[in-house]
Amino acid sequence: MKRVEILWTGGFDSTFRIAQLSRLDIEIQPFYICNPARQSIKNELKAMNEIMEMFKSSNQTKAKFLPLCHVPRKECHDNKFMTRAYKSIKKRDFIGNQYVYLCGFSRQHPGIELSVHDNVIDLIQKRGALKRIHDEDIGDYYVIDRLKTPMNLVILFGDFSFPLVNYTKKDMKAEYKKYGLTEIMHKTWFCHTPIDDKPCGECNPCKYAIEEGLYKRFDKKALIRYVMRKYGVK
């Protein structure tokens, strides 16, 4: 049985990918990187525990779920070359600093799935290129084209596979509903800096979610914070 390793945070995108994989006759090994600096750890773990149980009890699930593996941030083994690559990229483009230690982890698990479709994919396609890979068991995914991509991006992202390149959040929302997994969709968590255990509306994941049509996941206060940040209102 094929085993697929995937980084999971309980977020909208990575949970959607797990929903896709859950319908296949494979093993799914999810990993969660425990970064003490991340303010949303409690919310993410709660979401993942609830979602995992929902997948396991679903009659649509064919995959075998292996236990969620909690990996301490210090065990990701990033190094000065990864940090240097990140700093070089950041001089011209926005990129989150989490990709330094995620890079370190990907070196230990080459081919692990990174279920993003946002600024990381835009950055790779703007500065370099991706190439499509077809897998008989899990379908198409993308990897960095090492011959057409600057070395700094290859260093950070060369060991990942990207399964959601061609999806928007609206596409995912439609497929969640098609699969009959709307309840799971509403259990997902994406905010990095929750306020009173609710999405803040200000962090980048909240921003992307709102701008891609998921504004109903936010209360009025979060939407006001989003608008204030967008237009620089203090």
pLDDT digits (tens, 9 = 90+) for 13-72: 999 999 999 999 999 999 999 999 889 999 999 999 999 999 999 999 999 999 999 999
Q: Is residue 183 part of a domain?
A: no
User: Does residue 8 sit in the same domain as residue 51?
Assistant: yes
Q: Is residue 185 part of a domain?
A: no
Q: What is the pLDDT of residue 183?
A: 94
pTM recorded for the entire structure: 0.92
Q: Is residue 195 part of a domain?
A: yes
Instruction: Let me know: does 25 contact 159? Beta carbons within 8 Å.
Output: no
pLDDT digits (tens, 9 = 90+) for 95-141: 999 999 999 999 999 999 999 987 899 999 999 999 999 999 999 99
Q: What is the pLDDT of residue 231?
A: 87
Band of pLDDT at residue 225, cut at 50, 70 and 90: very high
Q: What is the pLDDT of residue 221?
A: 97
Q: Is residue 180 part of a domain?
A: no
User: Does residue 44 sit in the same domain as residue 87?
Assistant: yes
Q: What is the pLDDT of residue 195?
A: 96
Q: Is residue 181 part of a domain?
A: no
User: Does residue 56 sit in the same domain as residue 20?
Assistant: yes
Q: What is the pLDDT of residue 233?
A: 81
Q: Is residue 63 part of a domain?
A: yes
Q: What is the pLDDT of residue 19?
A: 97
In this structure, how many other beta carbons lie within 10 angstroms of the beta carbon of residue 161?
A: 22
Band of pLDDT at residue 213, cut at 50, 70 and 90: confident
User: Does residue 8 sit in the same domain as residue 109?
Assistant: yes
User: Does residue 154 sit in the same domain as residue 205?
Assistant: no
Domain encompassing residue 150: 3-169
Instruction: Give yes or no for residue 222 having a pLDDT over 90.
Output: yes
User: Whole-number mean pLDDT of the chain?
Assistant: 95
User: Does residue 118 sit in the same domain as residue 212?
Assistant: no
DSSP state of 104: H
Question: Which residues, other chains included, contact 198 with Cβ-Cβ below 8 Å and sequence gap of 6+?
Answer: 191, 218, 219, 221, 222
Q: Is residue 143 part of a domain?
A: yes
pLDDT digits (tens, 9 = 90+) for 177-202: 999 999 999 999 999 999 999 999 99
Total of domains in the chain: 2
